[in-house]
Amino acid sequence: MEITNSVVVLQPGIYVLRYPKGGLAPLTISRAPGKPENCGRIEALWTPGTQGATLRDGSDCIVMHVQDAPAELLVSAFLPHAGAPAPTLRVDKIGLDEPGAAAAPVVSAPVVKAPAVTAPAPKAQPAGRTIQISEEGLTLIGHIERVGDAVAPEGKYLGDPSTNLRLEGFQVMWPDHPQQVDLAYSVTLEGLGATPTVTTGQFCGSKGEARRITEVTFTLVGENARRFELKGMAHFSGGFSVPVSSGLPLSGPSGLEHLVAVTLTTAIALPQKQNVQNPWEQSSRTKVFKTKATQSQK
């Protein structure tokens, strides 16, 4: 086997990377350690089986969004033997209208079809407006990419699960939390790692730094925490959703997906469990019979 490499530079935009027609050798896509000015942010979606890196035939493709600056990609072809022809990666750029430009004819794309967005994007709070929160239950306050500050009452989403806009940071308000119970939370930020754990009323994450949250953890704490249950859902880029469970780190399947939305509901008191006797414990009514040892015969 022989491996050949080539570098592809993509300008900011949305691209579809596909396997070439008639190609034989598999191709892998990775980030090239290129020039400092070619370090644009990359968000990607891919078909099952590629794991976001490998193209084997015409059924595989990767949708890549390059942002802020150009990005250099390293394309590697795994040839069956020396001298075998290397396939050429097929890169199709999705044409989008510039803001304010005249409407262009609609051209259908057979490979990628974007789903219709039914849920409206959360609205940012106007500048200088006091944020109002409910005196009961959990309220989420956070900062969303290209949207700004937003508020979500109990049971509503902070962020929009139907988009890939980053939920960059948030804080939880719980004015009427029961005695001896509180909510602690922490996140993992791209490039910085895990943040310190904070409790209700404190901000967690970043704001206006274009950093992604790749993992989030919510934990009920306090002497009475075991008597309550926490419910909710965390959504990550690529359409992945994870149910909230107290103390369990939540992330996408690869750990690279970023948080786009979260919802929480007030902790619900669970009925106290009755003391059930362990059948393996010795009962006070159990009688123990002892027998005399018998001498073994030679």
User: How far apart are the C-alpha atoms of 253 and 177, rounded to whole Å?
Assistant: 33
Domain count, the chain: 2
Torsion region of 201: left, alpha or beta (phi above 0 gives left; psi -120 to 50 gives alpha): left
CB environment 217-243: b (16+ within 10 A), e (fewer): bbbbebeebebbebebbbbbbbebebe
Q: Based on the fold, state whether residues 46 and 144 are members of the same structural domain.
A: no
Q: Based on the fold, state whether residues 180 and 88 are members of the same structural domain.
A: no
Q: What is the pTM of this model?
A: 0.49
Q: Based on the fold, state whether residues 56 and 167 are members of the same structural domain.
A: no
CB of 25 within 8 A of CB of 77? Answer: yes
Q: Based on the fold, state whether residues 143 and 261 are members of the same structural domain.
A: yes
Q: Based on the fold, state whether residues 152 and 60 are members of the same structural domain.
A: no
Range of the domain at 29: 2-93
Residue 3 has what pLDDT? 79
Q: Based on the fold, state whether residues 89 and 165 are members of the same structural domain.
A: no
Residue 250 has what pLDDT? 93
Chain CA centroid to CA 228, Å: 26
**Mean pLDDT by 10-residue block, N- to C-terminus, for the chain (298 residues)?**
79 86 78 77 81 79 87 82 76 69 37 37 46 79 91 92 93 88 92 89 88 93 86 92 91 91 78 46 46 49
Residue 13 covered by a domain: yes
Q: What is the pLDDT of residues 62-72, one digit of tens each?
A: 888 888 888 88
User: How far apart are the C-alpha atoms of 168 and 119, rounded to whole Å?
Assistant: 20
Q: Based on the fold, state whether residues 260 and 144 are members of the same structural domain.
A: yes
Residue 283 covered by a domain: no
Q: Based on the fold, state whether residues 150 and 207 are members of the same structural domain.
A: yes
Residue 276 has what pLDDT? 41
Residue 287 covered by a domain: no
Residue 205 has what pLDDT? 93
